[in-house]
Structure 1
Amino acid sequence: MIDIEKFVFKSNVENNPLIGVQLTAMKYFGYMIFEHQRLKRLHCFRGVVFTTTFILFNLAQYVDLFTKINDVNELAKNASTTLLFTTTSFRMINFYWNRTRYVNLIKEVDKNLVNAIKFGDYKIQDIIAKYIKYLKRLTAIFWIIALITANGMCVKSIIEGIYLEYQVAYNNFNSTDIEAPLILPCWFPFDDYWNKFWIIFGIEYYIMNVGMLIVPCWHSFIVSMMGYVIINLKILNFKLSEMNLKNLPNIELIKCVEHRERLVCFIRELSSLISSSLFLDFIIFSLLLCMLLFQASQVGDGIQLGIIACYIITMTTILWMYYYHSNEITYYTDQLSSSSYSSSWYKHSQSFKKQMLIFMMSAKPIMLRAGFIDMKLDTFLNILRASYSYFTLLTQMAAK
């Protein structure tokens, strides 16, 4: 039996200004368990059910994908969401496999951030407040775009379903000639999707709601964890540049060294947890964006085109958030040497100067990696270029 208690948050982590919103969403999903919740095993079981059904639906999408392998238009319709759900399914499995490590990181973020807010001076508090405000805005924008995309797909499907049902009932349309307006292309064990439309719609609507909860929540959660690193790097750069060297300069420097080492350990642990998922994104998102661009080029319906446009924006935003903030981590670790140099180190003893020189030489930039791929803005642009190249190739293939 799993010891649920070791995954229970006994602190008030839900109110954490950096990751509280994401943790609340993950609580509803069943990932996170809090002390005030009753029937903790039932909440955990809910997460298992959501995860299992989501993965099974993704497998059914692949069945449908292979049945349409020779039809480029149908393949493009199917592939985009199938690939997105694949990366999400992989993240779900990764979370369950490394649940203890994720929980430990969350507890570290909560403890250190709360202490920095409580006991830091007003300048440090200002650094934290400004960056949290930025991340909250980014999260809100990302959630809005993602929810518009997913809900647009659901609303369009139900309106078309009601309209076609009316046509069959009152205008003598033959239901066998009508293609069921499903939310997502997928395989179901039915011969006639139209006669089972509302059953299929209910299943897909459930899956879409699971996706709407976990997809934006998970990506914004990881970006917020990266934001925690950036906040600490900004604080460390500030401490180094404004270091009080009048009294006990060696102790001040030792504190900064310890702060940097804690951050390096945190970055390594976070990187080891998300590296495989980000590498899968690197491989899949080029194809995903290619399929969406191809869909957009083939669609004549303005509403559907708007939904696809929002879908493309959502996927591009996910990639940008990871690669931009990873680039920020590299930038601010690189700034540590400059911040050290800007202090008044030259006014102190030869021994202290040597220690400062060693610190500056060891403060090398840290770069997150997606497998063996460096996560920087150049890589993000290369993914977009590759997507467009695949799109032009697919367009040429479809024209033949």
Structure 2
Amino acid sequence: MFKVKELLLTPELFENPIFRIHLRCFQLYGYVASEEQRQPGLALVRCCVFTASIWLSCALMFTRNVLALSYEQLSDGATNWATAVQYFAVSIATMNAFAQRERVVVMLRGAHADLQRLMLQADAQELELLLSTQRYVRSITLLLWVPSVVAGLLAWLDCIYRTIFLPQTVFNSAAVRRGEAQPILLYKLYPFGQLCDNFIIGYLGPWYALFLGVSTIPLWHTFVSCLMKYVTFKQQLLNRRVRQMNVRTLWCYFGFITLTFVTLPQVQRLTSRRIKPAELNYWRLKLCATFVEEQQQIRSFVHQIQQLICVPVMADFIIFSVLMCFLLFALMMGMPSKIDYFFIFIYLFVMAGILWLYHWHATLIVECQNELQFAIYDCNWYTFGLPVQKMLQFIMMDAQRPLVMRALLVDLNLRTFLDIMRGAYSYFNILRSTQKY
């Protein structure tokens, strides 16, 4: 069982420039708690309720689709099944997040400590790199959140309008069961009322389920993308410092070393212009040691991310590839309405966007890892002493080890993403060819 004290985060961490938006949402859902909260134990209860409600919504949607009569058009049930399957995928992700909350908290604390040292001691170029990373994180969050919010608002507004002006088209569960009436948009996506003619389950249930989907689906995936972007940010800093190889700024490097082995006279000599060659080699070796330490920390952080996402990403790989094929088939072979076209397009965009986020950022991590070798070669190594050259050679050999992320049996890279897209389209062509006969 979780210990509440182990999951508490400092108030400063909720203002982290990279994870700020996601941490505030996680605090709302109870996945993390602040040390300033009066009753942080309630966060664990709220998280359990939140996770259970997602699974309950998923079970209700699957139950209704299984018990439903055959659809006249394939496109009629496409959005129902797509919604249910997406909830099944996000249910796996939320359960995984619940089970690995302690791992996430440890990762966040380490990342926040590094970023705090950066903001206090970094130069202008490093701060600009941090700001560009912050802008990038906001962009990818909006990229996935905006379509989900737009689709949710459309369903909510349709329900509000009909509830006020056309109530006979809203509270019509009996007529829908007899096939005499069509449910409104919100009830097509979340048909709880056809299972239970109850106001709380049949009316308020879809409202709450839609809120869960709109907020949870983009939240978890963009948060993992932020963790992966943080890794590339650390790699870019490391590559920049390896290229500079400037021992005069060794004392102010954030996150690479501690000043416990550096005395004030040594710092004064280090920042002066009178450094003997032997002393210069000594400090360069110290700098190389910090590079090795930072590279090991990056590898450890990537391993933690991989352990965090391997199960849900593997599930998304299987579920989304099949679901995209099914939606394309329903779109081409059925006769969907304009609203069905809109929701099918949103589903395809969101599913492709989720897969792209993982595979794209995993590719960036590999590319930044490969750039480290070129950074070592560009640091004027031929002017250094022989011990420093040998140390750089060992660092380059270590940099040649691949830093590939995997989701159980699947490598995360753009080639795998393109294979998923091609596979979904190939399955669609097979289904379309069989439909002709």
The alignment's TM-score, normalised by the length of structure 2, stands at: 0.83
Identify the match of residue 356 of structure 1 among 376, 389, 392. 392
* CA displacement at 1:307 relative to structure 2: 2.9
- Opposite residue 179 of structure 1, the aligned amino acid is Q
CA-CA distance at 1:357 after TM superposition: 1.0
Aligned to 1:234: 236
Change (3 A) 1:215 1:283: same
Residue of structure 1 in register with 2:148 after alignment: 146
Q: 1:271 aligns with which of 282, 300, 306?
A: 306
Q: What do residues 334-355 of structure 1 show as CA deviations (whole Å, max 9, x unaligned)?
A: 1111101100111122222121
User: Structure 1 counterpart of 2:408, which letter?
Assistant: G
**1:303 corresponding residue in structure 2:** 339
Match of residue 136 from structure 2: 134
Amino acid at match of 1:62: F
Amino acid at match of 1:267: V
CA distance, structure 2, for counterparts of residue 198 and residue 52 of structure 1:
17
Contact preservation (8 Å) 2:192, 2:205: no
CA contact (8 A) 1:61 1:187 kept: yes
Once residues 399 and 155 of structure 1 are traced to their aligned partners in structure 2, the CA distance between those partners, rounded to angstroms, is: 39
Q: What is the number of residues matched between the two proteins?
A: 395
Q: Tell me the TM-score normalized by structure 1.
A: 0.90
State the AA in 2 paired with 1:384: M
More off after superposition, 243-252 vs 89-98: 243-252
Residue in 2 that maps onto 1:340: 376
Q: Which secondary structure state, in structure 2, belongs to the residue aligned with residue 36 of structure 1?
A: coil
Unaligned residue ranges in structure 1 (runs of 5+): none
Q: Does the 8 Å CA contact 1:63/1:186 hold for their aligned counterparts?
A: no
Moved more, 356-365 or 220-229: 356-365
Counterpart position of 1:14:
14
Is the Cα–Cα contact under 8 Å of residues 69 and 75 in structure 1 kept in the other structure?
no
User: Structure 1 counterpart of 2:293, which letter?
Assistant: E
**Which one-letter code corresponds to 1:376 in the other structure?**
N
CA pair 135-186 structure 1, distance change in 2 beyond 3 A = closer
**Partner residue in 2 for 1:79:** 81
Q: Which amino acid aligns with 1:263?
A: I
Specify every segment of 5 or more residues in structure 2 that has no aligned partner in the other structure, as ranges. 248-276
User: Whose radius of gyration is greater, 1 or 2?
Assistant: 2
**Shift in CA distance, 210/21, structure 1 to aligned 2, threshold 3 Å:** same
Say which SS state the counterpart of residue 339 (structure 2) adopts.
helix
Query: How far, CA to CA, are the matches of 2:434 and 2:410 in structure 1?
Result: 30
Contact in 2 for aligned 1:238/1:339 (Cα 8 Å): yes
1:64–1:392 distance in 2 versus 1, CA, 3 Å? farther
- Report if the CA contact (8 A) 2:79-2:343 is conserved: no
Distance between the aligned counterparts of 1:162 and 1:62, measured in 2? 30
1:179 aligns with 2:215: no
The Cα shift of 1:201 comes to 3.1
1:379 corresponds to: 416
Deviation at 1:66, TM superposition (A): 3.1
d(CA) in 1 for partners of 2:407 and 2:390? 36
Would you say the 8 A contact 1:168–1:175 is kept in 2?
no
- CA deviation profile, 1:251-282 (whole Å, cap 9, x unmatched): 11111111111111111111111111111111
CA distance, structure 2, for counterparts of residue 213 and residue 23 of structure 1: 13
Mean CA deviation greater in 181-190 or 84-93: 181-190
Q: Are the aligned partners of 1:279 and 1:371 in contact in 2 as well (CA < 8 Å)?
A: yes
Instruction: Give the equivalent residue in structure 2 for 1:220.
Output: 222
Report percent identity of matched pairs: 25
Structure 1 residues 318 and 168 mapped into 2: Cα distance closer, same or farther (>3 Å)? closer
- Other-structure match for 1:259: 294
